[in-house]
Structure 1
Amino acid sequence: MERKKLGDMGEKYALDYLKANNYEIVKVNYRSRYGEIDIIAKENNTLVFIEVKTRTSDAFGRGMEAVDIRKQRKIRLVSLNFLNEYHKPVGDLRFDVIEINMIPGALRELIHIKNAF
C-alpha cells in the first residue's frame, strides 16, 4: 500500500477513535511553514495536538519511536503557529501520539499515548 494512502487510513481510524471518545475535532492536517500537525482536538478544556503514526510492521520500529526530539520540536513550533494564527483561548495544552498498527486493509491495533512529550 502506498505511504500516503496508508497514512490517510491511519488518520481516519484515529479520528473515528477520538470522536467515539468525545473529543471535539478542531482541525485536521493543519499546515504552517514549520510543518504539519495531523489532528488538533479538544478534550474538555484541553487543546490536544496529536501526531498519528501508522505502520504495517515493526520492521523499522514502532510508530511512537518515530516521534523523536526533532519531530517533537517541529510539532511544538507548528502548535505555536496555530495558537498565534487562530488566537484560540486555551485551558491546558497536551501533545499526544496515536500509533496505528495495520494488517492489510484493516486496523490491528490503536495505541493512544497521552502526554507523549
Structure 2
Amino acid sequence: MERKKLGDMGEKYALDYLKANNYEIVKVNYRSRYGEIDIIAKENNTLVFIEVKTRTSDAFGRGMEAVDIRKQRKIRLVSLNFLNEYDEFVYNLRFDVIEIKMANGTLKELTHIINAF
C-alpha cells in the first residue's frame, strides 16, 4: 500500500477514535509555512495537537519514535501559528501522538499517547 493512502487511512481511524471519545475536531491537516499538524481537537477546555503515525510493522521502530525533537519543534511552531489564528480562548494545550498499526488494510492496534511531549 502506498504511504499516502496508508497515512490517510490511519488518520481516518484516529478521527473515528477521537470522535467516539468525545473530542471535538477543530481542524484536520492544518498547514502553515512551518509544516502540518494532522489533527487539532478539543477535549473540554484543552486544545490538543495530535500527530498520527501509521505503521504496518515495527521494523523501522514505533510511530512515537518518529516524533523526534526536530518533529516536535516543527509541531510547536505550527501550533503557535494556529493559535494566532484561532478565535476561542484556550485554557490548556497538549501535544499527543496516536500510533496506528495496520495489517492488510485494516486497523490492528491504536495507541493514544497523551502528553507525548
Q: TM-score range by the shorter chain?
A: over 0.9
Is there any run of 5+ residues in structure 2 with no aligned partner, and where? none
Deviations 1:1-59 (A, max 9, x none): 00000000000000000000000000000000000000000000000000000000111
Asked if 1:22 is matched to 2:25, the reply is no
Distance 1:40 1:105 in 2: 25
Shift of 1:80: 0.1
What stretches of structure 1 move > 2 A for 4+ residues in a row?
A: none
Distance 1:56 1:19 in 2: 23
Asked if 1:2 is matched to 2:35, the reply is no
Distance 1:4 1:88 in 2: 32
Query: Aligned AA for 1:80?
Result: L
Query: Aligned AA for 1:12?
Result: K
Asked if 1:80 is matched to 2:94, the reply is no
Percent of aligned pairs with the same amino acid: 90
* Count of residue correspondences: 117
Is the partner of 1:84 in helix, strand or coil? helix
Q: TM-score, normalised by structure 2?
A: 0.98
Is there any run of 5+ residues in structure 1 with no aligned partner, and where? none
Distance 1:85 1:25 in 2: 16
Query: Aligned AA for 1:72?
Result: Q
